[in-house]
Amino acid sequence: MRYTVPGRGGETGAGTGRLAYDGGAVPLSEGQPMTATAKGSDRELRDVDPAVDELDDADDLEDDLSTEAPSRGWGLLLIITSALGFLASMVLTIDRITIAGNPDATFACDISPFVACGPAMTSEAGAIFGFPNPLLGIAGFAITGTTGVLLASGLRPPRWYLLCLQAGVLGAAVLITYLQYQIINVVNALCLWCFLVWLVTIPIVVTTTITNLRVGVFGAGLQRIGRELAHWQVLVVTIWYVALLVALGLRFYAEFARYWFGVSL
């Protein structure tokens, strides 16, 4: 930030003038000494007028925000998880087309009566919006994967893009939570490809949300929270994984014991 202090006749010194800086001009009272020069320090300028101090603080905050950027590591994470999610979505889409033409078709993921993809794909929950859910996965993971490539290349998406991405991943979190409820309480069969989609969606949701907080997408007020949460991303993902596995285990442990070990619980 540059400062110039013109006095009478273009000179600096005691007298009437205006303190000029990048953001505008601050009037100085009659006879007030001008202690800052073109190369004066920020401290000297604060002594001249409190308004300069406030603008300097705002400038420091803006500079601090400008130094925050999504990391390339996050981009690599998006690439890997999105590739796995895209693969699972493609397989589910192909299987859904196959089962539409042949309802008796079996698939590699049909391991047991309670671990099978067919019941999940043909259920009402398998097409919430009137078309197969995996199509949403293909589109969604293509977007997050492309975002990961851009981030890994060192590019920084604009704020509006990160806000749209945030809305998308939160929608994905709601969707997979609903599907998990359906699998456990309605379908009563675990789809392994669906399970893979859940596993990769969870870190995408967590890292996207925390990164957006950290880089100031939601404003400077929440940026400190994002910086603190950045140290706990792995723990948050792990807790989510454990909660999911516990829910599935409580639902299917009896079937698992009976089918694999012949033990009725």
- pLDDT for 85: 97
Mind listing the pLDDT tens digit for each residue in 74-101? 999 999 999 999 999 999 999 999 998 8
Structure tokens at 41: 């320090």
CATH at residue 121:
1.20.1440.130
The domain total for the chain is: 2
Structure tokens at 135: 């199509």
Per-residue exposure over 204-237, b if at least 16 CB sit within 10 Å of its own CB, e if not: bbbbbbbbbbbbbbbeeeebeebeebeeebeebb
Q: Are residues 127 and 250 in the same domain?
A: yes
Going from the C-alpha of 82 to that of each of 73, 118, 204, the distances in angstroms are: 14, 23, 8
- pLDDT for 36: 44
Q: Are residues 28 and 82 in the same domain?
A: no
**Higher-scoring residue by pLDDT: 198, 8:** 198
- Measured CA to CA, the distance from residue 24 to residue 131 in angstroms comes to 57
- pLDDT for 114: 86
Band of residue 106 on the pLDDT scale cut at 50, 70, 90: confident
Mind listing the pLDDT tens digit for each residue in 158-191? 999 999 999 999 999 999 999 999 999 999 899 9
**Higher-scoring residue by pLDDT: 210, 55:** 210
Q: Are residues 134 and 212 in the same domain?
A: yes
Average pLDDT, the chain: 81
Nearest to residue 143, comparing CAs of 68, 219, 186, 85? 85
- pTM of the model as a whole: 0.73
Q: Are residues 94 and 56 in the same domain?
A: no
- Measured CA to CA, the distance from residue 125 to residue 197 in angstroms comes to 15
Write out the H or E segment, with its range, that includes residue 112: none
Band of residue 200 on the pLDDT scale cut at 50, 70, 90: very high
Q: Are residues 111 and 186 in the same domain?
A: yes
**Would you give the end-to-end CA distance of the chain in angstroms?**
73
pLDDT above 90 for 54 = no
Q: Are residues 186 and 247 in the same domain?
A: yes
What residues make up the domain containing 215?
73-261
